[in-house]
Structure 1
Amino acid sequence: MDINDNIESPLRLQVSFNKLLQHYETLANSDDEFVAEKATRILKTADNFPELRDGFSDVSMLKEREKEISVILQDSFSPVLTKNEIKTASVPFHNLIFNSSERFKNIIEIAGDDFELDIKNMPKDDKYIIACTIILNFCYGYNLNFKRPFYYEIPDANGILHYYKILYNADFTEIIPNKNAPKITQKDYDELLDNFENIDLWKEKFPPNSYTFKGFVISNIFDVTDDQSISNIKSNLIGDDKRKDENFMEGFHEIFRSLFGINDLKVGFSIFNKEEGIFERVYGVGMNSFLLGNKESASCSGSLCSWSYNRLINENKYFSVSDVDRIMEKAKDSAPHITALHEQGIKSAIFAPIANESGLMGIIEIVSNKPQVLNSINANKLIDVMPFIVSAVERSKSDEENLIEAIIQKECTSIHPSVHWRFEKEAKDFIKSEFNGEQAIFKKIAFDNIYPLYGQIDIKGSSEARNKATRLDLTLQLNAVKDIFEKASEIETLPIYDQFIYQINEYLEGLNTHFQVDSEQQISEFVKDEIEPALKHIYTIDTLKESIDAYFDSIDDKVDVLYRHRKDYDDTIALINKEMASLLDKKQEVAQTMYPHYFERFKTDGVEHNMYIGESITKEESFSPIYLYNLRLWQLQVMCEMENSYYQMQSGFPVALDVASMILVFNQPLSISFRMDEKQFDVDGTYNARYEIVKKRVDKAYIKGTKERVTQKGKISIVYSQKQDEREYLRYIKFLQSKHYLDTDVEIVELQDLQAVTGLKAIRVSVLYHKSEEDKSFYTYNDLMKEIKA
């Protein structure tokens, strides 16, 4: 077998001892007789076998000339050091080792029969190019530094991985160009410098087998398990979302096993919550806390004895428990952490504080199922590791704080993506000013010349529906207690019972005839202050216990009143808001792809939305009025779809409520700015404030000369003030009538003057409905109600 078989390389490999023998030729002329005699003997051994100088690639020759090779290499592989040094002789880019020290042989033997020696960090795909760079250095004198640390990973008898660093000595090698080797020019070299990954170019300049490698390399190998383990810990801790990585903790265990030389070692973590004085579990795949066991959290004082508490939390120093069972027997129940370890079958442990100058952040827990293998002596190995763990925890805490802040921003005070770029720009300017030592001021965020759009789908008669639900609940509650007092007066004749019955009847009559805003509060106070104490007395009557229990069971624990019809009403409002807001959000995603614009919505008794569109928001010179008209048409169409969607799901709501939709058209562009105190955009200037006044009051406005509200169930109302707006929206309505979104009953009405606002008009048109998404028929509101009730 040839050592070049199945290898594509610019180097034709030949094992040769020529360079080493040349060294012995010099030593043969030494004045030291012993050195000269030894060198002569080695040269004589080689002279009988010319192939040892000339080179060979037949692997069988290594076996045939094993004795002679051993003589030639005897100084390189000293018998005195053979059991201490880890050393091999081999050829490059090949796992073929033809001479090695006793210690290396022992390490490989312990690793097992199925172990295959493989160099780590040696990129297989780059071997050809690495060989070319070696040729450039050897033959052309270029100094290309491609040195990377190469390693062996070899397990010991316990399966613990050890890391061995390889240092190559290439003093006894020579590289000779063959006849087919192209001459490398400066131009070639310059081209190769910028084309490391272009394998075809390298093969063009260095064709396969165009150079001959003659010689061998000596590998000096060192056990760097501790250093590599620390490096691996550092590498493992770099990067984000490690807690989601399923392999992270298993890899972390393996690294610590190599560092301590313990094959059953495990690592756990606990977070220190200083504000609450508790330890908390770290949430992540495969992460455990041996201090907490199965608990999610526990008080620090309840998890540690006073000595260990002071050691970790106050002094920020590690401590070890070398024999858990022995300490358990000694401490009895006075050391909670020892009890926790004992219950989990742990025999020895190290607890180390993860702390910085601000104090304790958490604890790293290293445990083993064997006694004494973890102790105060090998705990010192953590000294080199802890800075990286502290740094990672600091970064993790910072990331978590940023994530929490981001979630708060998103869920509570979100900045819409369309304007985020302006906030980002101002934040960068703020940081730049601060960095340059200037007074950092977060400048006003404002957008000029933008067009507003406003719409709402409002629940009709929500106040009346709420009052009705309240009256029904209070009536049920009063009748229930009235019934109890009537039964009590039959058993125990007390005038106070008659007084309560009289008072209850007064309240019941008031609920039916003149329910007022404060009626609910008055009745609640009456029940709490007078009725409930009386019921406690009546509870002594056995025959009434069941009735009183039933009454109190009907009272809601959270609001402390009978909350049946009001709950149905509140649940209905919540469901309407949720479903309508969700539909609007989905539709908005599509609208944003048409042209970016600012959007916000609010849940009240229904759902309102604001939109702003214009050049200053989009950051680019791309705005055209066509995008405004498109958004207005989109808004009108979506309002029709929301109406449809609402009435299709209305039957599933606890209370049947109606909705009315309205769009406000504002013809002139305006300015908006972000109000830092309220964390929202608002219009700028006195003239623009007129828009906000109309927005707040228009849905309650009446048609001129009537007591009829402009908004009406089953219809969309489009409020405007300019004739051109009227013409524009009549075109949209005509288009949507052709699509069967809207009916043909278009009416134009004038509105009563609002405070400081005159001349408003409204177009009103009925929505056409479908019974379901599959239904292709069109219904007016009245037709739909008949169909639903049929």
Structure 2
Amino acid sequence: MNINDNIESPLNLKVSFNMLLQQYETLAKSDDEFIAAKANRILKTASDFPELRAGFSDVSIIEKRKKEIRTILQDSFSPLLTKNEIKTASVPFHNLIFNSSERFKSIIKNAGNDFELQMKNMPEDDTYIIACTIILNFCYGYNLNFKRPFYYEIPDVNGILHYYKILYNADFCEIVPTKTAKKITQEDYDELLDNFENIDLWKEKFPPNSYDFKGFVISNIFDVTDDQSISNIKSSLIGDDKRKDEGFMEGFYEIFRSLLGIKDIKVGFSIYNDEEQTFERVYGVGMNSFLIGNVESESCTDALCGWSYDRLLKEKKYFSVSDVDKALEISKGCSPHIKALHKQGIKSAILAPIANDNGLMGILEIVSLKPQVLNSINANKLVDIMPYIVSAVERSKSEEENLIEAIIQKECTSIHPSVHWRFAKEAKNFIKAEMNGEEATFKKIAFENIYPLYGQIDIKGSSEARNKATRQDLSLQLKAVKNIFKKTLESQALPIYEQFIYQIDDYLNGLEKYFQVDSEQQISDFLKQDIEPVLKHLNTIDAFKKDVSSYFDSIDDKINVLYNHRKAYDDTIATINKEMASLLDKKQEEAQAMYPHYFERFKTDGVEHNMYVGESITKENSFNPIYLYNLRLWQLQVMCEMENAYYQMQSKFPVALNVASMILVFNQPLSISFRMDEKQFDVDGTYNARYEIVKKRVDKAYIKGTTERVTQKGKISIVYSQKQDEKEYLRYIKFLQSKHYLDTDIEIVELQDLQAVTGLKAIRVSVLYHKSEEDKAFYTYDDLMKEIKA
């Protein structure tokens, strides 16, 4: 077998001891007779077998000349040190080892029969190029430093992984160009410097087998398990979302096993919550706490005894329990942490505080199912790794705080993606000013020349519906109280009960004839302050206990009133808002794909939405009025779809309510700015304020000369002020009529003047409905109601 088989390399490898023998030729002339005699004996051994100096690629020669090679390498592999030093002789880029120390052989033997020695950190794809860089160093004098730490990972007899760093001695190597080698010029070198990954270029400059490598390398190997374990811990702790990685904790266990030299250990963590004075579990795949077990959190004083509490929290020092069973016996079962460990079958443990100058952040828990393997002696090994764990926890806490803030921002004060770039720009400027020691201010966020779009689907008669539900609940509650007092009068003829009945009748009469703003509060106060104490007294009397208990069971615990019809109303409003907002959000994704724009929606008694589109928001030179017209048509179409969706699900709501839709058209571009106090965008300037006034009041506006509201159930109202808007939307309506979204009953009406706003008009047109998603028939609102009720 040839060493070079199945290897593509610019080097033709030959094992040769020429450079080593040249050293012995010098030593043969030494004045020291012993050194000279030894050198001559080695030279004589080599002279009998010329291939040892000339070089060979046939692996079988190694076995044939095993004795002679051992003699030649005797000084390099001292018999006195062979059981201590870890050393090999080999050829580069090859697993062929032809001489090694006894300790190396012992390490490989303990690794097991199925272990295959393989160098780590040696990129297989780059070996050709690495060989080329070595040629540049050896043959052309270019000092290219490509040295990387290479190492072996070898398990011991117990299966614990050890790390061995390899240091090469390349004094006995020589590289000679063959006839096929191309001379490397300065231009070639300059080109190669910028093309490390261009394998074809390297092969062009250094053809395969164009240089002869003669010699061997001596590998001095050192056990760096402790250092590498610490490095691996650092590497493991660096990076995001480690807690989501299923294999992370098992890998973490393996690192600690190597560090402590113990196979049977596990690692756990618990977080210290300073505000609650509790230990909490760390959330993540495979994350455990052996201190608090399966519970989510536990009080520090319940998890630790007095001594261990002071040791971890006050002194911030680690401690070990080398024999849990013995400790349980000594403590007579009074130490909570010993009991917890014993319950889980743990026999020895180390608990170490993760703390910085600000105090305790958590506990590192290392446990074993065997006694005495974890103790106060090997616990000292944690000294070297705790700073990295502390740093990781500090970073994790900071990231968690940032994540919490980010979630709050997203869920509570969301910045729409279309304008996020502008906020990010100002935030960067803010940070830059702070870093430079300047006064940092967050500048005003504003966008000019923006076209607004506004729409709403509003619940008609919501105030009347809520008042009706309130009257019904209060009437039921008053009647229930009245019945109790009427029954009470039969056995206790006290005038006060008659007076209460009279007052209840007066309230019931008022609810029927005139329900005022303060009626609800008056009745609630009467029931709470006057009636409830009496009922609590009656509840102590057996004859009335059943009726009074039944009354209190009907009262809502949170608001202390009867909450039946009002709950049905509130649930209906909440469901309408949820369903309509969800549909609008889903449709908005389509609109954003058409052209990016700012969008926000609000839940009131219905759902409102604002849209702003323009060049200053998109940040690109791409805006064209066609995108505005497209969004206007999209908005009108979506409002029709929302009307349909609402009436298709109306029968599922606890209370049957109607909705009316409206779109406000504003023809002129305006400016908007972000109001920091309200965390939302608003229009800028006095002129633009006219738009906000119209938006807030127009849905309550009347048609001129009438008492009819502009918004009507079953219709979409499009409010505008310019004739060109009227023409534009009539085109959209005609198109949507062709698609059976809208009916043919178009009407154009004038609106009564609003405060500081005159000249408003509206187009009103009926929506066409389907009974269900599958239904292909078209219905007007009145037809739909008849169909639904039929």
Shorter chain as normaliser: what TM range?
A: over 0.9
Q: Which residue of 1 aligns with 2:291?
A: 291
Match of 1:443 in 2: 443
Cα distance change on mapping 1:433 and 1:139 into 2, 3 Å: same
Structure 1 residues 452-461 or 9-18, which shifts more? 9-18
Tell me how far 1:647 sits from its aligned partner: 0.7
- The gaps in structure 2 that reach 5 residues or longer are none
State the alpha-carbon separation in 2 of the partners of residues 21 and 751 from structure 1: 110
SS in 1 for 2:78: coil
Q: Does 1:721 align with 2:753?
A: no
Task: Report the secondary structure of 1:607's partner residue.
Answer: strand
Q: Which whole-Å deviations, capped at 9, do the CAs of 1:304-340 have from their partners, x for residues lacking one?
A: 2222222222232222222222222222344322222
SS in 2 for 1:647: helix
CA distance in 2, matches of 1:215, 1:534: 108
Indicate the residue corresponding to 2:588 in structure 1: 588
CA displacement, residues 169-204 of structure 1 (integer Å, 9 cap, x when unaligned)? 111122222222222222222222222222222222
Q: Which amino acid aligns with 1:745?
A: D
Question: Structure 2 CA distance, aligned partners of 1:79 and 1:267?
Answer: 42
Deviation of 1:139 after TM superposition, in Å, equals 1.9
Distance (whole Å) between structure 2 residues aligned to residue 294 and residue 184 of structure 1: 67
Partner of 1:520: 520
What is the distance in 2 between the residues matched to 1:723 and 1:9? 81
Secondary structure of 1:581's aligned partner: helix
Q: Give the partner amino acid of 2:554.
A: S
CA distance in 1, matches of 2:295, 2:40: 77
CA distance in structure 1 between the partners assigned to 2:364 and 2:151 by the alignment: 29
Paired letter, 1:777 = A
1:355 maps onto 2:355 in alignment: yes
Match of 1:65 in 2: 65
**Which range moved further: 80-89 or 449-458?**
449-458
Q: Deviations over 1:638-660 (max 9, x none)?
A: 11111111111111111111000
Q: Distance in 2 between matches of 1:82 and 1:250?
A: 36
Q: Determine the C-alpha separation between the residues in 1 that align with 2:520 and 2:572.
A: 21
Q: Is the partner of 2:317 in helix, strand or coil?
A: coil
Matches within 5 A, 1:347-386: 347-386=347-386
- Counting matched residue pairs gives 790
In the other structure, the counterpart of 2:462 is 462
Matched letter for residue 121 of structure 2: N
Instruction: Say which is worse superposed, 89-98 or 174-183, in terms of deviation.
Output: 174-183
Identify the residue that residue 38 of structure 1 maps to in structure 2.
38
What are the residue-to-residue correspondences of 1:400-479 with 2, within 5 Å?
400-479=400-479
Q: Is 1:226 the equivalent of 2:218?
A: no
Measure, in 2, the Cα distance between the counterparts of 1:636 and 1:458: 15
**Matched residue, 2:689:** 689
Letter of the 2:484 partner, please give it: I
Q: Deviations over 1:11-64 (max 9, x none)?
A: 222222121111111111111011111111111122221221122222222122
Say which is worse superposed, 586-595 or 705-714, in terms of deviation.
586-595
Letter in 2 for 1:279: F
CA distance in structure 1 between the partners assigned to 2:180 and 2:426 by the alignment? 64
Give the distance between the partners of 2:15 and 2:9, measured in 1 at CA. Answer: 16
Q: Give the Å deviation of 1:416.
A: 1.3
Residue aligning to 2:277? 277
Partners of 2:60 and 2:728 in 1: how far apart? Answer: 95
**TM-score calculated relative to the size of structure 1:** 0.97
3-state SS in 1 of match to 2:399? helix
Q: Deviations over 1:382-403 (max 9, x none)?
A: 2221221111111111111111
Quick one: distance in 2 between partners of 1:57 and 1:204?
25
Indicate whether 1:307 and 2:307 are aligned: yes
- Which deviates more, 2-11 or 497-506? 497-506
Q: Which whole-Å CA distance do the structure 1 matches of 2:355 and 2:190 have between them?
A: 51
Aligned position for 1:150? 150
In the alignment, the residues of structure 1 paired with residue 126 and residue 788 of structure 2 have an alpha-carbon distance, to the nearest angstrom, of 74
Residues 488-526 of structure 1, C-alpha deviations (whole Å, 9 max, x = no match): 333444444333333333222222222222222222222
Q: Secondary structure at the match of 2:408?
A: helix
TM-superposition CA deviations, 1:720-775 (whole Å, max 9, x none): 12222222222221121112111111111111122222222111111111111221
Q: CA deviation at 1:599?
A: 1.3
Query: 1:226-245 to 2 correspondence within 5 Å?
Result: 226-245=226-245
Paired with 1:28 and 1:548, the residues of 2 have a C-alpha distance of: 118
More deviation, 521-530/357-366 = 521-530
Bigger mean CA offset, 253-262 vs 342-351? 342-351
Cα displacement string for residues 347-380 of structure 1 (whole angstroms, at most 9, x for unaligned residues): 2222222222222222211122222222222222
Partner residue in 2 for 1:547: 547
Q: Residues 194-209 of structure 1 correspond to what in structure 2 (within 5 A)?
A: 194-209=194-209
1:541 CA displacement: 4.6
DSSP 3-state at the match of 2:662: strand
CA distance in 1, matches of 2:178, 2:614: 72
- Which range moved further: 556-565 or 634-643? 556-565
Q: Distance in 2 between matches of 1:677 and 1:333?
A: 58
Consecutive unaligned residues of structure 1, counting only runs of 5 or more, are none
Q: What are the within-5 Å matches in structure 2 for residues 463-612 of structure 1? A: 463-542=463-542, 544-612=544-612
**Counterpart Cα distance in 2 of 1:449 and 1:2:** 78
Q: Distance in 1 between matches of 2:385 and 2:241?
A: 21
Q: How does 1:732-743 map to 2 (within 5 A)?
A: 732-743=732-743
> Which amino acid in the other structure matches residue 779 of structure 1?
Y
Matches of 1:714 and 1:220, distance apart in 2 = 88
The residue that corresponds to 1:90 in the other structure is 90
Give 1:209-220 correspondences, 5 Å limit. 209-220=209-220
Q: Where do 1:638-677 residues align within 5 Å?
A: 638-677=638-677
Residues 237-275 of structure 1, C-alpha deviation per residue, up to 9 Å, x if partnerless?
A: 111111111111111111011001111111111111112
Alpha-carbon distance in structure 1 between the residues aligned to 2:258 and 2:550: 68
Return the alpha-carbon distance in structure 2 between the equivalents of residues 723 and 176 of structure 1.
Answer: 91
The amino acid across from 1:446 in the alignment is A
Alpha-carbon offset, residue 543 of structure 1: 5.2
Give the structure 1 partner of residue 75 of structure 2: 75
CA distance in 2, matches of 1:17, 1:446: 78
Q: Which moved more, 1:542-551 or 1:654-663?
A: 542-551
CA deviation after TM superposition for structure 1 residue 479, in Å: 2.5
CA distance in 2, matches of 1:194, 1:451: 51
Matched letter for residue 507 of structure 2: Y
Partner secondary structure for residue 165 of structure 2? strand
Shift of residue 784, structure 1, vs aligned partner? 0.6
Measured in 2, the distance between the counterparts of 1:667 and 1:11 equals 77
Aligned partner letter, 1:110: N
Determine helix, strand or coil for the equivalent of 1:784: helix
Please identify, of 557-566 and 496-505, the stretch whose mean Cα deviation from structure 2 is larger: 496-505
- Give the match for residue 117 of structure 1: 117
> RMSD in angstroms over aligned alpha carbons?
1.6
More displaced stretch, 389-398 vs 28-37: 389-398
Aligned partners of 1:228, 1:474: CA distance in 2, in Å? Answer: 75
